[in-house]
Structure 1
């Protein structure tokens, strides 16, 4: 009995309509990447394990898909190690490669390996799939595309300003109104940890704070207590849970809170610059909002951090995010190369556009006209017209088989092709075509030029 086919959890097949809609999003993102001066690169789908491991924190490392070595990989494992059943030790012996977790670490590796071929600052974009061994749920998959843009080799805050504008430009073209670009700075978070006496608990502090929208204020406080952050320290950060007012109001409150922290005040200064620049330049429709609880989980962010929230009427996690990483290439031996980048969440953007019915109807239009096949001579007559229509940018095709008329008409109906052309002996002699409108049922005999204009 034949095996019933299936696909792994967290992966998907895409229909032609879905692919078309995804391409619509990627084309818009790619177009703006290039308008903003970013250059395309691509990296392998899998990397050496040592390139990826240890770059995303413990949580991230657990989500990396490992690839088994080829051949008899167990023969290289000692009986002692095999008997101990130590998963981490065993994995390092039987797996030397892994599927990429994101595009940022591979990009850092790329910069180091190609440092003599690129000009700094180097602006690159990548649109490629990544893989994470995560628990699948709405908007979260194990295989998904990332659409990244990064700049390395510049510490200028104008880069952050441009990324805010880039987010705004892309979502404005996609017709997605009401998005919020949340922004914070890791220096501010470090400064807060410093002034409350929890500097040694910075990672635990930021990871817990980042969950505020998921587990609420009490949940965050409980997690901080569990991680060893004192009640006194938690009381000092109470103002963070109720920060309100304009961006300027929030920055003034932060300045008061962080007055004794040099690093924290540097973060406030950087946010002030970005906020002032965007206020002068303006945005098409996005709202830029300082969110002091925004932490983002990845350890390599050192400055500004971004997260894009979908319109409030859609229940969806972030649809974009990123930030500044001052020395990511340092992990590969190239020191003091600052970088900043953002990513667009293609799959989540798709779900948001679908829910809000924002995909233009015309992007999923398929073949405009189908030529009925009556035989070899008639098919050749039709194919000559099909060729000319295609040269004029009109989607046209010939039914490949000399099948019954009913079957060919049903095919056109099922594919929702709006026009059908019937061309037999009479039409061939008169060099005309009988054009049938499949929606109204009307048909008329027309010249090629008339047919082309009506179909278009």
Structure 2
């Protein structure tokens, strides 16, 4: 959980402005949900490993009483429900489905919503992995059509392109591909282990599968999927050979084929997304397409992920309410953009012009001039003390304020003003009637 400097906030807001604008372009509406959710809402959706990362919030008052006295403090699984009935949200998808279930009779379906809010996970902090991070979700609820998947994939591509990300890759798979090679009763465990592939490597995943007593056929099939090469068309042929004879495999291949055809019609270029047959996404609620945004040769991990979920609504009393969505992780996006020097040329100043304060007894006139600048739409501030001009220029330089106004002689809208460009050092003299036009032109030239 970190503080963000003004510079970091400006850069994060730049990322968010692009994401929000494209979400709106695609017809998504904003939604917000509380930071706290009940344990009943949070538990049973993320798998065993995910549930261990939920931040639980203690009950108020004397919550232990006689019931807890009989339970060993080391038996945390039994103790936890007694001392905590709420937790910080783990993601935005589960709260979304809780909201949709509660308001399903007022919502117009398909419901296209986006949500930009922080989530919390009690994880071990490291590069690209934080305990508090900002997620930007876009979901379509209430339609089983694979056109929704295609739109989400094109949305991911458009945002990544607008952010000018280098070497990004949108990986896709279908849970049916993995279902086709494993025992249905062990599918969740299989996906949990396979989801660690990028983190721990192929050999450790193979070892984990063996230790979990998966069959030799399942392990061999996974190894075969891992070695698939070529473009999407070639990989679909390889999938057809490997799992096309199974019901799950045949269905998954048909869905992947249709989604790719739809993305092509939407303008996604060839290779804009890549079939990765071992992509699992560890969350329990995914049932169909899964997707992930990554950067080649990066140690940060995925920049976002998502997929199709068909049964999550059932847990909240909204039966047969399907959904598909994707979530960008702003903190990892920031790290990658910083590493790729993609913030160059992005305005990071909040003040556009500094009005200097060098004349004694001129406060009344300076404040009047300050009001006039703001009325004309300029983000302005007045240096509050009467000090040497060098100190005020140093202040403007440190704050990255692009322009400084230095009034000449008595302050009045009828007198002249020096407008100094802090980047070039060039300064020109203007009357008040000329000053606003000159400043507006100069600011536009920086954009």
Secondary structure in 1 aligned to 2:412?
A: helix
Tell me the residue number matched to 2:338: 354
Relative distance call for 1:217 and 1:85 in structure 2 (3 A) is closer
The match for 1:258 among 226, 243, 255 is 243
Relative distance call for 1:220 and 1:43 in structure 2 (3 A) is same
Tell me the residue number matched to 1:94: 83
What per-residue deviation string (whole Å, max 9, x for no partner) do you get for residues 272-294 of structure 1? 00112223333269721000000
Contact 2:101 2:313 in 1 (8 A): yes
Tell me the residue number matched to 1:6: none
Relative distance call for 1:122 and 1:436 in structure 2 (3 A) is closer
Gaps of 5+ in 2: none
Tell me the residue number matched to 2:147: 158
Secondary structure in 1 aligned to 2:285?
A: coil
Are 2:164 and 1:175 aligned?
yes
Tell me the residue number matched to 1:5: none
* TM-score, L = length of structure 1: 0.90
> Mean Cα displacement is larger for which, 422-431 or 27-36?
422-431
Counterparts of residues 322-401 of structure 1 (less than 5 Å)? 322-374=306-358, 378-401=362-385
CA deviation after TM superposition for structure 1 residue 371, in Å:
1.3
Relative distance call for 1:443 and 1:211 in structure 2 (3 A) is closer
The match for 2:210 among 222, 225, 230 is 225
CA deviation after TM superposition for structure 1 residue 187, in Å:
1.4
* TM-score, L = length of structure 2: 0.92
Contact 1:379 1:398 in 2 (8 A): no
Contact 2:366 2:411 in 1 (8 A): no
What per-residue deviation string (whole Å, max 9, x for no partner) do you get for residues 63-111 of structure 1? 0000011122233644212x46421211111111100000000111001
Q: In structure 2, what is the Cα distance between the partners aligned to 1:212 and 1:203?
A: 15
The match for 2:201 among 216, 219, 223 is 216
> Mean Cα displacement is larger for which, 273-282 or 150-159?
273-282
Counterparts of residues 33-72 of structure 1 (less than 5 Å)? 33-72=23-62
Secondary structure in 1 aligned to 2:180?
A: helix
Are 2:327 and 1:304 aligned?
no
What per-residue deviation string (whole Å, max 9, x for no partner) do you get for residues 8-60 of structure 1? xxx11000110010011111111111111111111000011111011101001
CA deviation after TM superposition for structure 1 residue 348, in Å:
0.7
The match for 2:174 among 185, 194, 205 is 185
Contact 2:177 2:252 in 1 (8 A): yes
Relative distance call for 1:25 and 1:357 in structure 2 (3 A) is same
Relative distance call for 1:425 and 1:282 in structure 2 (3 A) is closer
Relative distance call for 1:237 and 1:141 in structure 2 (3 A) is closer
Alignment RMSD: 2.1
Q: In structure 2, what is the Cα distance between the partners aligned to 1:110 and 1:129?
A: 17
Tell me the residue number matched to 2:419: 435
Q: In structure 2, what is the Cα distance between the partners aligned to 1:16 and 1:76?
A: 50
Tell me the residue number matched to 1:21: 11
Q: In structure 2, what is the Cα distance between the partners aligned to 1:217 and 1:186?
A: 19
